[in-house]
Amino acid sequence: MKTISDFLQMKKNGEKIVMLTAYDYPSARLAEEAGIDIVLVGDSLGMVVLGYDSTVPVTMADMIHHSRAARRGAKGTFMLTDMPYLTFQISPAQAMENAARLVQEGGCEGVKIEGGEEIAPQVRALVKAGIPVCAHIGLTPQSATALSGYKVQGRTAEAATKLLHDAVALEEAGAFMIVLECIPAQVAELISTRLSIPTIGIGGGAACDGQVLVFHDTLGLFERFVPKFVKQFETLGVKARDALSVYADEVRSGTFPDAAHSFSMNEEQLQKIYGDVQG
Ligand code: KIV
């Protein structure tokens, strides 16, 4: 399993860090087998797995349940779990209590939390207690309503300066990594150059120290909407639907199951049953 010092070294060496979300045993296992550096049990599971319209309804129980499943699938990969909405914003003590549960019950190596300088006290408290923290700024989906929707952030000089200021404050508070979501590539590059900790982009351009995508987006399994920053490396949704309709057709037409997918018994035993039944 790669460690925090490996990630810092990767940044120094200019080696890109690959993060992918996973939410259960099969997705985490596939991520690990594909050589992903960091598995993120993101609260995006609210949308892509649980069918909510946003990440806001996701609970601690959801995150613990899914982290435990992902852990079983990726035992040898550094795993981060998202702290859900309103489980850390209220106070450093609240953040401590919930982060400890994610690590102890969910089995993750560290947590990710959304927010800028205002959550630096929470980051400081977690790091002091030995819980590694990945920060997340830019488009922070838990506050999408306050940001007036899922929009690119940091497009003005003032907004970009605020992002840089937030990133520096979070690094100073002890975050070991920071996700930059949906910000202009030039701003992400500036932040990546200024910080010593690795930046992980999602809609943050190529200059970030690594990239993260949502499992279902990467494979074309989430079709409700496809953000501009998503590249679908496969169209498994289409393929899965086609395969399932072939299955339905074959059951209805009686072509499945055929002999190759059925069991049989030897003739002697069969005759015995007929004899027993008739006699
Ligand atoms: O919840 C999530 O999956 C995330 C990533 C998209 C960064 O926060």
Pick the atom of ligand 1 nearest to 212's CA. 7
| This prediction's pTM | 0.95
**What is residue 148's predicted lDDT score, i.e. its pLDDT?**
82
For residues 26-41, one letter each, b for 16 or more C-beta atoms within 10 angstroms of the residue's C-beta and e for the rest, the string is ebbbbbbeeebbbbbb
156's CB contacts (< 8 A; 6+ apart) are: none
Q: Which atom of ligand 1 is nearest to the CA of 55?
A: 1
List, for residues 11-35, the tens digit of each pLDDT value.
999 999 999 999 999 999 999 999 9
The string over 44-82, giving b where at least 16 C-beta atoms fall within 10 Å of a residue's C-beta and e elsewhere, is bbbbbbeeeebbbebebebbbbbbbbbbebbeebbbbbb
Whether residue 49 has its Cβ less than 6 Å from ligand 1: no
Q: What is the pLDDT of residues 67-115, one digit of tens each?
A: 999 999 999 999 999 999 999 999 999 999 999 999 999 999 999 999 9
Kindly give, in sequence order, each residue whose CB lies less than 8 Å from that of residue 248, ignoring residues fewer than 6 positions away.
none
CATH number of the CATH domain containing 106 = 3.20.20.60
pLDDT digits (tens, 9 = 90+) for 139-165: 999 988 888 888 999 999 999 999 999
User: Same structural domain for residues 146 and 253?
Assistant: no
184 lies in the same domain as 50: yes
Same domain? For 26 and 151 the reply is yes
Mean pLDDT of the 246-267 span: 97
- In short, whether 122's Cβ falls inside 6 Å of ligand 1 is no
**Measured between alpha carbons, how far is 10 from 4 in angstroms, rounded to an integer?**
10
Q: Is 43 annotated among the ligand-binding residues?
A: yes
**172 and 56, same domain (yes or no):** yes
Q: How far is CA 120 from the centre of its chain?
A: 23
Q: Give the whole-angstrom CA distance, residue 249 versus residue 242.
A: 11
pLDDT of residue 177: 98
Closest ligand 1 atom to the C-alpha of 213? 6
Task: Say how many Å lie between the CA of residue 7 and the centre of ligand 1.
Answer: 19
- CA–centroid distance, residue 42 to ligand 1 (Å): 5
Residue 138 near ligand 1, beta carbon < 6 Å:
no
Report the candidate in 225, 213, 48, 207 with the shortest Cα–Cα distance to residue 150.
Answer: 225
Give the residue numbers spanning the domain of 69: 4-234
Domain end marker among 218, 234, 250: 234
- Report the pLDDT averaged over residues 189-197: 98
Whether residue 83 is found in the same domain as residue 169: yes
Residue 226 and residue 102 share a domain: yes
Q: Which two tokens stand for residue 239?
A: 């393929």
Tell me the CA end-to-end span of the chain in Å, nearest whole number.
66
Taking all residues of the chain, what is their mean pLDDT, rounded to a whole number? Answer: 96
Q: Clarify whether residues 62 and 192 are in a common domain.
A: yes
172 CA distance to ligand 1 middle (Å)? 23
**Closest atom of ligand 1 relative to the 82 alpha carbon:** 1
Q: Are residues 31 and 50 in the same domain?
A: yes
- Beta carbons within 8 Å of 172's beta carbon, 6+ residues apart: 120
pLDDT at position 157 is 97
For ligand 1, mutation pick of 23, 82, 134, 222 (most atoms within 8 Å of CB) = 82
Same domain, residue pair 51 and 127: yes
Q: What pLDDT is stored for residue 163 in this prediction?
A: 98
Name the phi and psi angles at 78, rounded to 5.
-55, 125
Q: What is the chain's Cα-based Rg?
A: 23
Confidence at residue 279, expressed as pLDDT on a 0 to 100 scale: 62
181 counts as catalytic: yes
Q: What would the two tokens of residue 50 be?
A: 């649980």
Backbone angles phi, psi at 115, to 5 degrees: 140, 165
For residue 48, the surrounding DSSP H or E stretch is helix 45-48
User: Would you say 258 is a known binding-site residue?
Assistant: no
Does 44 appear as a known binding residue? yes
Quick check: CB of 192 below 6 Å from ligand 1? Answer: no
262 has pLDDT over 70? yes
Same domain for 175 and 134, yes or no, is yes
Q: How many domains does the chain contain in total?
A: 2
Contact, 2 vs 39, CB < 8 A?
no
Does 114 carry a binding-site annotation? yes
The answer on 112 and 8 residing in a single domain is yes
Burial class (CB in 10 A: 0-12, 13-18, 19+), 224: exposed
Q: Are residues 225 and 245 in the same domain?
A: no
